[in-house]
Structure 1
Amino acid sequence: MSTAVSRGTSPVSPARQPRLTVLSGPSGVGKSTVVAHMRKAHPEVWLSVSATTRKPRPGEQDGVQYFFVDDEEFDKLIANGELLEWAEFAGNRYGTPRRAVLDRLEAGEPVLLEIDLQGARQVRETMPDARLVFLAPPSWDELVRRLTGRGTESAEVIERRLAAAKVELAAESEFDVTLVNTSVEDVARELLALLR
């Protein structure tokens, strides 16, 4: 069973405009898995699609998992103020297109961002009303197992991800709510409840 820890946030009443909800946590904790599970049952939940300079992994499609752009295109997005947040991670840059998020919020739809710690901190600065949700692993050993078990990255990249994960785990107190990912189903249900 997962554990939710609230840090002084009050529930959003249905009459208010939806808040932006940011899901963050260390690499390998299962953010994408939780979001995919939730959206399979509730496709109406809108997930912002990030732009990235990373090359697509097998099976990934442009505009679905990410908008895949080159460095020059990413530089233009930054220069034109078109990103709500952006960060560099494991040698690649990731960013959230600003306009799409604002349009959905203005239309009264809840918006979910799945981003890293750097991005979550930037969103906190630019949109202080956003609810930041930290997805934590059940244990450090389990996180290491998940990261090494992917088989999609080199040992060097895994080491960088583990080093970053230690920093990310230490930032948990900066978030409004913590969900511990012991069960994808439970965490997806709790995340959906926060969005509503």
Structure 2
Amino acid sequence: MALTLYTNPMSRGRIARWMLEEVGAAYETVVLGYDTTMKAEAYRAINPMAKVPALVHNGKTITECAAICAYLAETFPDAGLAPHADERADYYRWLFYAAGPVESAITNRSLGVVPTDAQQRMVGYGSFDAVVDVLERAISAHPYIAGDRFTAADVYGGSQILFGLQFGSLPKREIFGDYAARLIERPAYKRAGELDDALIAAAA
């Protein structure tokens, strides 16, 4: 099975690489530049949004990091990262919560967009503070997002928290820090980080 990751080491492509390392599949990496190859027609044919990451698997394209994580978990079941029956509700709930309300709330806050009380009724996430409080409760319920074991939902949801703590877009709450500490000890996370950091160093 041919797998190609289109990415940039200073992007959300780090999430897709982490997931690829978790499933242990062989893959090719194509590094794109933000103002050059990422905007070229050759890549737009793969992802018309001209964004990374994109994953091409046997000629089929998958974009959006949460979708890539879920797809790889199902495509490589031996990695054990897809949900068991009793984990499925929490797995999908929090995977898409991280991809929807969390992503939107953090992005708006970074842009200085603060919905008024009236606007919160039509904004999917309501308010930034509400999103963060609910995220904290989700992480507090179990050692991992879907239960007692690590799944693909932790790759995506955990990445949101790791990025948030690193860049200051999430508050440094104890629950987030404890969860992040568990994630960064995973061998696949370390391998993925070393690969992307080496690409950054080589381009410097």
> Under a length normalisation based on structure 1, what TM-score does the superposition of the two structures give?
0.29
Specify which structure has the higher proportion of helix.
2
Task: Say which structure, 1 or 2, has more relative contact order (CA 8 Å, 6+ apart).
Answer: 1
Q: If you compute each CA radius of gyration, which structure gives the higher value, 1 or 2?
A: 2
TM-score, normalised to structure 2, is: 0.28
